[in-house]
């Protein structure tokens, strides 16, 4: 999100508009259209291709994700069954027909282009950023859990209690990612802190972000020994991720819901 402070003139305009709502609305829309035109033309859509034929379900991605994003460990006892915080876990699908192959897949937030969770958030704590990532402002969340019930993928987790970092465990927290408190919903951000880092470095060096430097950018992709996870800009037809996304084996989870996920899977191929 580009930060732009509302200046006094804007404020006056808006206040003036409140007298005649119709006129104001037109003015406001026109103004925002003008601002959009001034924004940089390059629009990204970060996306991920997960090749299930490469993936061996070694689960490194799930642990790497927890490490990078300070995802709290939620204990094994009965009370905590179902309270697990999962940004990325392994989804297991039994075959629909008897005799079919079961399928496991690394299962991050799908970062839908048309995200049901974003629509329902009553306070705008979760939103699509202009790079196609479904983000969440932890501190804005009020914990109504509407996004959780709206998400068809179940990729949102609620902090059912304030996370504990016992003793020295606290020292391993990644300083790049804020910890979340109890009563807040959290989710995968495609490791946006890493995206931001790369973007800042590219900006410092006065160049565009190269596809090469983002392919294994998120923690899950970086850790994957099978190199099954590839990250990149889906809006750039030249990128590796776009190239893979054109593979005939491609599919999106629940594509019939029209959510258009940015996570594209490539089918498992067995003899």
State which of positions 160-189 bind another protein (CB under 8 A): 160-175, 179, 181-185
The residue from 12, 42, 56, 251 that contacts another protein (CB under 8 A) is: 56
HEC per residue, 115-178: CHHHHHCCCCCEEECCCCCEEECHHHCCCCCHHHHHCCCCCCEECCCCCCCCHHHHHHCCCCCC
End-to-end, the C-alpha distance of the chain in Å comes to 47
Contacting range for another protein; rule: CB under 8 A; set: 27-35, 41-49, 234-242? 27-35
Q: How far is the CB of 234 from another protein (least distance, A)?
A: 19
**Residue 159 touching another protein (CB under 8 A):** yes
Contacting range for another protein; rule: CB under 8 A; set: 41-49, 234-242, 255-263? 255-263
Q: How far is the CB of 118 from another protein (least distance, A)?
A: 9
Read off the tokens for 39.
């924004």
Task: Reduce the DSSP state of residue 4 to 3 states and report it.
Answer: coil
**Residue 113 touching another protein (CB under 8 A):** no
**Residue 35 touching another protein (CB under 8 A):** yes
Task: Reduce the DSSP state of residue 200 to 3 states and report it.
Answer: helix
Name residues contacting another protein, limited to 36-55 (CB under 8 A): 36, 51, 53-55
**Residue 7 touching another protein (CB under 8 A):** no
Q: Which is nearer to another protein, 161 or 243 (CB)?
A: 161
Contacting range for another protein; rule: CB under 8 A; set: 22-30, 42-50, 235-243? 22-30
**Residue 57 touching another protein (CB under 8 A):** yes
DSSP state of 87: S
Is 146:122 a contact under the CB 8 Å cutoff? yes
Listing DSSP states for 65-79 in one string gives HHHHTTPPP--SSGG
Q: Which helix (H) or strand (E) holds 260?
A: none
Q: Which is nearer to another protein, 88 or 234 (CB)?
A: 88
**Residue 151 touching another protein (CB under 8 A):** yes
Burial 235-247 (b: 16+ CB within 10 A, else e): ebeebbbbebbee
**Residue 203 touching another protein (CB under 8 A):** no
């Amino acid at each position: 999100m580009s930060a732009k402070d509302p200046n006094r003139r804007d404020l006056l305009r808006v206040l003036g508009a409140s007298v005649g709502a119709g006129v104001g609305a037109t003015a406001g829309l026109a103004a925002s259209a003008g601002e959009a035109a001034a924004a940089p033309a390059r629009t990204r859509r970060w996306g991920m291709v997960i090749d299930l034929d490469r993936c061996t379900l070694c689960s490194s991605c799930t642990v790497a994700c927890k490490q990078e994003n300070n995802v709290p460990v939620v204990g094994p006892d009965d009370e905590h069954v179902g309270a697990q915080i999962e940004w990325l876990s392994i989804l297991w699908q039994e075959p629909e027909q008897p005799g079919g192959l079961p399928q496991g897949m690394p299962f991050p937030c799908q970062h839908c282009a048309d995200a049901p969770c974003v629509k329902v958030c009553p306070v705008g704590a979760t939103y699509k950023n202009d790079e196609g990532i479904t983000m969440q402002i932890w501190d804005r969340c009020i914990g109504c859990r509407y996004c959780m019930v709206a998400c068809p993928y179940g990729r949102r987790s609620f902090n059912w209690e304030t996370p504990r970092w016992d003793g020295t465990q606290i020292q391993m927290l990644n300083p790049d990612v804020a910890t979340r408190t109890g009563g807040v919903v959290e989710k995968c951000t495609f490791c946006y802190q890493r995206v931001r880092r790369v973007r800042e470095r590219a900006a410092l060096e006065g160049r565009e972000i190269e596809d090469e430097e983002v392919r294994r950018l998120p923690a899950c992709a970086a850790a994957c020994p099978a190199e099954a996870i590839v990250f990149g800009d889906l809006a750039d037809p030249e990128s590796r991720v776009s190239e893979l996304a054109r593979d005939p084996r491609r599919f999106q989870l629940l594509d019939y819901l029209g959510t258009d996920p940015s996570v594209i899977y490539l089918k498992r191929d067995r003899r």
